[in-house]
Chain A
Amino acid sequence: MLESGLIIRALMRNKIGALLIALQIALTMTIMVNAIFMIQDRQQQMARSSGINEGDTFYLTNTIFAQDYNTRVGLQTDLNAIRKTPGVVDAIQINAIPLSGGGWSSGLQTQPGEDKDGVNTAIYMVDDHAINTLDLELIAGENFSPSDIDWRLPAQSAWPAKVIITQALANALFPDNGQSALGKTVYISNNQPMQVIGIIKNLQAPWNGWSGVERSALVPFQMETRSGRYFIRTEPGRRDELMPLIENMLAKSDKGRIIRRLTTMEETREQSYRQHNATNKILMTVVSTLTLITAFGIVGLAIFSINRRTKQIGTRRALGATRWQVMRYFMVENLFISAVGIIIGCIGTVSLNYWLVNKFNMTPLGFELIALGVVTLVIVGQLAVLYPARKAALISPATATRTV
C-alpha cells in the first residue's frame, strides 16, 4: 500500500488517541475470546445426553404417613395401577433421578478387600422395568428378570447379586477392555460380590458437575420406604395429559399418603442447567455490548481526527486525490491501529486464559477461537471506520481554500 509509510508517520504524531483505541481493541479481544470459550465449554456440557428419555417422562414423590401402611403391598398396587393406565408405557420405583442433583453413590472394586482401590459410581435402585421405563439402550448382556429383584429395607447393608453398569463405568473398572466387564464380578462395600449381567450405553449420574457423571449402575432393588419416587414414561405427546390423571388416581386410591413434587424430566434438565444457561446469556450480552462500545469509540475518535484534518483532506482532494483514496487512508489507518491492538490482545487473551485455567481448572483455549477473534475485530474496526471515512471522502476540495 502506497501511503503506509505516510500513515504510520502521521499516526506517530498523535500516538495517544491511537494507543487508546488499540488498547480498547486489545482488551475487547481478550474478554471476547475468553468469554466465547467459556460459553462453548458450557454448551458442550449441556449438550451431553442423560441417556434416558427426557421428553415423555415425569416423576413424583409418594410419602406415606399412615402408621399401619403396608409399604410392600402399596408399592406393587401403585405400580400395577400406573402401568395399566392407558397411555403409560412403563413405570418404576427409583431412588434417584438423573440431573436432579441428589442421589446415591458408592465405590465398586474389581477385587474384594478393604485395601483395594475403588471406582465411584451412581447407584440407581430399580426393578426389571427400568430399561424400558428410562428408555435405555442395553448394548451387551441382559436385563434383570423379575426373580432378581430383592427387597431393600431401610438402612440395609446387603446388596443384590447382580448389577447392570454403563459403558463408562465398565471402562473405568476394566481400563484394558471395558467390554470384558460382562459376566465379571465386582465388589461393593469392599467385599460384597455382584455379577455384571448387562452393559448399557449411557446413563448419567444425578450430579451434572461430577467428573464421573457417565458412571452409573442399576441395582435390582425395590425399596421398602415411607418416602419413595415413581418414575413414569408415557406414550409420545401424552405426558402432560397423564400427569394430573396419575396424580389424582394415586392420591385418591389411599388416604394414608401424600403425592407431591410432580416433575417432568424437561423441568429437571432446565433446573439442572439453569445456572449454565444464565451465565451464558450474561456472557453473550457482555461480549456484544463490549464490541459495540469499542466500535462506537472507533467512530468517535475517527470523526474527531477527521474534523481536525478537514483542511488537509480538502488540500489533498484539491491536489487530485480521489474520494476512494481519502477513504482508503482512514481505513488503512484503522487497520494499523487494529493490528497493534490485536497483537496486544493475543497476548492478553492467552494470559487471561492461562489464569483461568490455573484458577478455575478449565481446559486451555484452542487456536481457532483466537483466529476468530482476530477476524471479528478487524471486521468490526473496518465497519466502524466506514461512516467517518465516507464523511471524510465527501469533504469538498474547496474546503482547502477557506480558513477555519
Chain B
Amino acid sequence: MFSYYLRLAAISIRRHWGLSLIMITAIGLGIGTAMTTVTVNYMMSANPIPQKSEQLFYVQLDNWDVNDPWDEGQNPPDQMTYTDATNLFKADKAFRHSISAQAFAVIEPQDPDLLPITVNARANSSDFFAMFNVPFLYGGAWNAQADSNKELVAVINKETNDTLFAGKNSVGELLRIDGNLFKIVGVIDSWQPTPKYYDLSSGAFNDTEALFVPFSLIAEEKITRAGNTSCWKPSGDGMAAFLRSECVWLQFWVELRDEQEQQDYQAFLNAYVKQQKQLGRFERPLDNRLSNVMQWLENQEVVADDAKMMMAMSFMFLIVCLLNTVGLLLAKFLGKAPEIGLRQALGASKATLFYQYLVESACIGLGGGLLGLILAWLGLQSVAAMYGDYMKDLTGLDTTMVLLAMLLALGSTVIAGLYPTWRACNVQPSQQLKSQ
C-alpha cells in the first residue's frame, strides 16, 4: 500500500507542481534558516570538555574597590590577583589547581638563517595539562617540582614544532626564548577547545597558545606577561610591586571531584577571604564564586546575544513557513474533495485516506528538508565568510545537525499536514457526488 500511496503522492505533486514548489521552497527556507542559526548557537554553546565540565571550577574572589565595585556589584572581577592565586595555590586544598596567565614570547631558532618568531604563550602551573585534558604528541607536562624550582622548561604546540623542528620529536631540545634557553619537555597534539573556556579574557574563540611555560617564571621576568589587566589601586613601581598589587590578570581553576569537595572548597575560600579581610583587603561583602565550565561560559555570555536573537527570529520564521504550508496543503487537499468523495463512495475508509494524505505531506516535508539542508550548508558557508576568523570553527554541519534538520522538516510538515488531512477526510461523499 505504501508504494501505491507514494505513487499517488507523486502524481498529485506533479499535477499541482506550482503549489508543491511553493511549499517545498517555504519549508526549505524555513529549515535552512533555522538550522543555520541553530548550528551557530550549538557550536558556540558547545561543551568544550564534556568528560569533566562538571568537575572544573573557575574561582572568582571580590577584591575590588568598595566605593566603585566591579560590574556595579553584579559580579566579582573575572580574573584574580597574583597574591590570591599564589595563596590559594600554596594552600593546596583542591584535587588539582591551575594558575595561568597570557604571555608573549620571541623565539630565536637555533638556525641563524631563520628569523625569530613571536608567539602567543601561556604561563601556567603543571596541573593545567591534566586538568584540561591537553593531548600530547611527544613527551608530556612538566612536574610540580619544575614549577617550584622555576625551571626553564617549555611545552610547545604542533605548529611550532613543525616550524622549528620540521615535526620531529623535539623533546629534550633547547629553545631560546627571550634570551634564555628553555628545555622542551612536551609537544601538544592539535588542540583547540571551542569555546576556549580556560581563558575567555581576550576572546572566547581565539587560537590556543603556541608555547607553555611554568607560571613561576613570570615573577622571575623570564617571560613577558600579556592579556587584560585591571587595576583599581595604585600599585607602586616595578614587577615586585605589581605582583603585590590589587590588579587582576590571571585565571585560577580548580578540579573538584564531587559535591563534598565543592562545599569544602567553598568553605575554604570563605575562610581565606575572612582572614584577608583582617589584613585590610576585601572590603566588599563576601562574594566568592565557584563556577563550573558551563556556568562560567554562561556567566561570561560566550554565546553572543546576536546569535540568540537570530535563533529566536529564525524559529519564528520557520513557523511562518509552516503556517504557509498548512494553508497551501489545506487548499490542495480541499481541492480534491470531489476525488475524495468518489473514493469514499467506492469504499475507502477514512483511515486509509488519512494515511494516503499523510504520505503526501511527508513527501513534501522530505523535499523541503533536503532543500533546507542545502540551504543550511550555503547559509553556514556565508556566515563563515562574513564573520571571518571569529566563526571559523563554528560553522560545521555534523551528523547530529543533519539528522535534526531532516527530523524537524519531516515532523513539522506532517504536523502541518494533520489539519488539512483531517479536513479532507471529513468530506461528505454524498454532497461531493451530487455536484459531479
Task: Write the residues of chain A forming the contact surface with B, with a CB cutoff of 8 angstroms.
Answer: 16-17, 20-21, 23-24, 27-28, 30-31, 34-35, 38, 63, 65, 67, 102, 105-107, 114-118, 153-158, 189-192, 226-227, 258, 260, 271, 274-275, 277-279, 281-283, 286, 289-290, 293-294, 296-297, 299-301, 304-305, 307-308, 356, 360, 404
**Residue in B235, B309, B330, B387 whose CB lies within 8 Å of A274:** B387
A17 near B330 with CB under 8 A, answer yes
Q: Is A278 a contact of B320 with CB atoms below 8 Å? A: no
B390 touches A296 (CB 8 A): no
CB distance from B295 to the nearest CB of A (A): 19
Chain B residues within 8 Å of A296, by CB: 22, 25-26, 324
Contact status A293-B320, CB under 8 Å: yes
Pick from B93-101, B207-215, B237-245, B349-357 the stretch touching chain A.
B237-245
CB-based nearest B residue for A294 = B320
Complex contacts, A34 vs chain B, CB 8 Å? 313
Is A279 a contact of B331 with CB atoms below 8 Å? no
Which residue of A has the minimal Cβ distance to B26? A293
For chain B, residues 238 to 275, give those with C-beta under 8 angstroms from any C-beta of chain A: 238-239, 241-242
Q: Is the CB of B332 within 8 A of A293?
A: no
At the interface, yes or no: B234 with Cβ under 8 Å from chain A?
A: yes
Contact of B390 among A16, A153, A154, A275 (CB under 8 A): A275
Partner of B386, one of A154, A260, A278, A305: A278
B386 x A258 contact (CB < 8 A): no
Q: How far is the CA of A300 from the CA of B157 in the complex (A)?
A: 59
State which of A20, A105, A158, A293 has its C-beta within 8 Å of the C-beta of B321: A293
Known contacts: A38-B309, A156-B237, A283-B310. The answer to whether A31 contacts B320 by CB under 8 A is yes
Contacts of A360 in B (CB 8 A): 305, 308-309
Cβ A279 vs Cβ B310 within 8 A: yes
Q: Counting CB contacts under 8 A, is B198 at the interface?
A: no
State the B residues within 8 Å of A (CB).
18-19, 22, 25-26, 29-30, 33, 65, 67-68, 104, 106, 108, 115-116, 118, 178-179, 202, 224, 228, 230-239, 241-242, 304-306, 308-310, 313-314, 316-317, 319-321, 323-324, 326-328, 330-332, 334-335, 338, 383, 386-388, 390, 419, 423, 435-436
Bound Cα distance A308, B331 (Å) = 9
The minimal Cβ–Cβ distance linking A352 to chain B, given in whole angstroms, is: 8
Q: Name the residue on B nearest A293 (C-beta).
A: B26
Q: A286-B317, A290-B317 are in contact. Are A226 and B241 (CB under 8 A)?
A: no
In angstroms, Cα B238 to Cα A105, docked, is 19
Contacts of B242 in A (CB 8 A): 155
Contact of A190 among B29, B233, B237, B321 (CB under 8 A): B233
Of the residues B33, B308, B323, B334, contact of A24 by C-beta under 8 Å:
B323
Chain A hits for B309, CB < 8 A? 38, 356, 360
Name the CB-closest residue of B to A34: B313
**CB-nearest residue of chain A relative to B436?**
A404
Asked if B104 contacts A300 (CB within 8 A), the reply is no
Q: Are B108 and A24 in contact (CB under 8 A)?
A: no
State the CA gap A153–B236 with chains docked (Å): 12
Beyond A17-B331, A283-B310, A293-B324, whether A157 also contacts B178 by CB under 8 A is: no
**Distance of A227 Cα from B436 Cα, bound (Å):** 89
Distance between B83 CB and nearest chain A CB, rounded to angstroms:
15
Contact A260 B118 (CB under 8 A): yes
Asked whether B179 lies within 8 Å of A67 as measured between CB atoms, the reply is: yes
Residues of B within 8 A of A115 (CB): 67
> Which residue from chain A places its CB closest to the CB of B29 in the assembled complex?
A289
Query: Which residue in chain A gives the minimum CB-CB distance to B229?
Result: A104
**Given A189-B233, A283-B310, A290-B317: A227 in contact with B383 (beta carbons within 8 A):** no
8 additional A-B pairs beyond A107-B68, A107-B232, A290-B317, beta carbons within 8 Å, are: A63-B118, A157-B236, A226-B224, A279-B306, A282-B310, A307-B335, A308-B334, A356-B309
Chain A residues within an 8 Å CB radius of B313:
31, 34-35, 283, 286
> How many residue pairs bridge A and B at CB < 8 Å?
159
In the complex, what distance in Å separates the CA atom of A34 from the CA atom of B316? Answer: 12
With A27-B323, A293-B321: A258-B118 Cβ-Cβ less than 8 Å? yes
| B33: A residues at CB distance < 8 A | 286, 289
Residue from A20, A107, A283 whose CB has the most chain B CB atoms within 10 Å: A20
Q: Is the CB of A300 within 8 A of B327?
A: yes
In the complex, what residues of B have CB within 8 A of residue A289's CB? 29, 33, 317
Closest beta carbon of chain B to A17's beta carbon, Å: 6
* Complex CA distance for A260 and B106, rounded to whole angstroms: 12
Instruction: Say which residue of B67, B118, B323, B327 sits within 8 Å of A116 (CB atoms).
Output: B67
Contact A301 B320 (CB under 8 A): no
- Shortest Cβ distance from A90 into chain B, in angstroms? 27
The answer to whether B179 touches A65 (Cβ under 8 A) is: yes
Query: Quick one: which of A63, A155, A158, A258 has the most chain B CB within 10 A?
Result: A155
Instruction: Say yes or no: B327 contacts A24, CB within 8 Å.
Output: yes
In the bound complex, how far is the Cα of B202 from the Cα of A234, in angstroms?
31
A275 touches B234 (CB 8 A): no
Give the distance to chain B from A259, nearest Cβ to Cβ, in Å. 11
Q: Are B328 and A301 in contact (CB under 8 A)?
A: yes
Residue in A157, A226, A278, A307 whose beta carbon sits within 8 Å of that of B387 in the complex: A278
Supply 13 A–B pairs (Cβ within 8 Å), ascending by A.
Answer: A20-B323, A31-B317, A34-B313, A35-B313, A114-B65, A117-B67, A190-B234, A279-B306, A283-B310, A296-B324, A297-B22, A297-B26, A304-B328
Contact A155/B320 with A67-B179, A274-B386 known, Cβ cut-off 8 Å:
no
List of B residues within 8 angstroms of A27 by Cβ: 316, 319-320, 323
Given contacts A63-B106, A258-B118, contact A227 B224 (CB under 8 A): yes
Given known A27-B320, A65-B106, A275-B387, contact A258–B335 (CB-CB < 8 A): no
Give the residue of B116, B304, B334, B435 whose beta carbon is less than 8 angstroms from that of A275: B304
Decide if A304 touches B335 in the complex (CB within 8 Å).
Answer: yes
Question: Please, how many angstroms separate the alpha-carbon atoms of A116 and B304 in the complex?
Answer: 34
Complex contacts, B316 vs chain A, CB 8 Å: 27, 30-31
- Which residue of chain A lies nearest to B387 when distances are taken between CB atoms in the complex? A278
The interface centre, meaning the residue of B104, B106, B108, B202 with most chain A CB atoms within 10 A of its CB, is B106
* CA gap between A286 and B309 in the complex, in Å: 13
Residue contact B327 to A21, C-beta cutoff 8 Å: yes
Bound complex: CA of A173 vs CA of B238, how far in Å?
A: 30
Is A297 within 8 A of B317, CB to CB?
Answer: no
A93–B199 CA distance with the chains assembled, in angstroms = 29
The CA of A190 and the CA of B231, in the complex, are separated in Å by: 11
B179, closest chain A residue (CB): A67
Asked whether A300 lies within 8 Å of B331 as measured between CB atoms, the reply is yes
A227 and B224 CA atoms in complex are apart in Å by 10
In the bound assembly, the distance between CA atoms of A65 and B114 in angstroms comes to 14
Query: Shortest 5 CB-CB distances between A and B: which pairs?
Result: A304-B331, A278-B386, A20-B327, A189-B234, A65-B106
Contacts of A192 in B (CB 8 A): 234
**Shortest distance between the CB of A351 and any CB in chain B (Å):** 12
Contact in complex: A117, B68 (CB < 8 Å): yes
- Inside 8 A of A356's CB, which chain B residues have their CB? 309
